[in-house]
Amino acid sequence: MQGTSVALFVSVFFACAVEAVEAVTIVLAAGTARDWKSAWRGVIAGLLTLALIIAVFGPAISHLPISFLRIVVGGLLLVFGLTWLRKAILRSSGYKALHDEDKIFQEELAAARIAAKETRHGVADWYAFTLSYKGVLLEGLEVAFIVLTFGTIDHKVGLASIAALAAVAIVVVAGFALRTPLSKVPENTMKFGVGILLTAFGIFWGAEGSAGASKKWPGDNWAVLGLIAGVAVFAFILVQVLKGTLAKQRVAVVASTAETTFEILEQDIEKIERSKGLQSLISFGEFWVDFIVGDDWRIAAGIVIAFVLTATIKVSAFTWGTVPFFVALFLAYSLSRVVRSPR
């Protein structure tokens, strides 16, 4: 049990650290470019909203049937983990630009500086307030989800909470002490590692929940460590395969750069043309779609199919092999579509 507790602590710590880095970057941009008082009010409002959501939905999670909880949590963790893992594989292989916190900070800073100043509800700078509020709330929701799910299923809410608080505290203190984005934090490496860990835990809980409350993985909780190793090896293989493929596509990449840039500009113009209220509503909806479905609906569909087959076919090899097989299959298929698509 000690090994799985360490894996749980590490998973929660680094996942929450990544979310905290992104939230701190947003708040720093709002405060630096606009108004620190308004930005801090946004932070406080975001934390209060987050506390209310946890107070309402947190206790309800613990009252759900354990098998149902494992299926739901396992599915969401797989979507969450595979989204990070898929992007990390694309970044590591060169198909996607590395996550640059300095660049993100500068973009947020530039957007904050050109936005019109508006006073609402006693807040001197409404833009700084809303930017900080949304950053803290959205990133905080993911932190809360990770803590509640990991802690509730393994009956280790205390351990998960300590890991989350430690991660957030370290990132916040470092970020505001330096007053710069934490660009030195190896966020791409952290996301790769967290993607592996969340995917492994998602497979473990999803398969166990689908199989039924009385079924346990061979090796019980120690199976998580084997799944972590298996996911890591498979991800490494995919990176190497994509690197080899990319080497053969360099000319095509250069040829398509102008077209891609034009498409990005068109998307930016479309976003600017939307009304502020509509854009906020759409962004909120996109967050929840991405949170539940991920960035490729085919992977989510594959997870559902795997869970249904695991629950239907009562053969040991299928029970514990179906979810890992479908996760590997649909992850590879999703990445292959990126490789085949015009770049």
228-247 pLDDT per residue, tens:
999 999 999 999 998 888 77
Domain span at 184 = 2-248+294-340
Asked if residue 162 is part of any domain, the answer here is yes
Asked if residue 66 is part of any domain, the answer here is yes
Give how many domains the chain has, as a whole number: 1
161-176 average pLDDT score = 87
Mean pLDDT of the residues in the chain: 78
Q: What is the pLDDT of residue 253?
A: 44
Asked if residue 56 is part of any domain, the answer here is yes
90-119 average pLDDT score = 69
Asked if residue 269 is part of any domain, the answer here is no
Rounded-to-integer distance, Cα 162 and Cα 52, Å: 20
Q: Tens digits of per-residue pLDDT, 250-304? A: 544 444 444 444 444 444 444 444 455 556 566 656 666 776 777 778 888 888 9
Asked if residue 87 is part of any domain, the answer here is yes
Residue type, 343: R
pTM exceeding 0.75: no
Asked if residue 276 is part of any domain, the answer here is no
Asked if residue 270 is part of any domain, the answer here is no
Rounded-to-integer distance, Cα 321 and Cα 309, Å: 10
Asked if residue 277 is part of any domain, the answer here is no
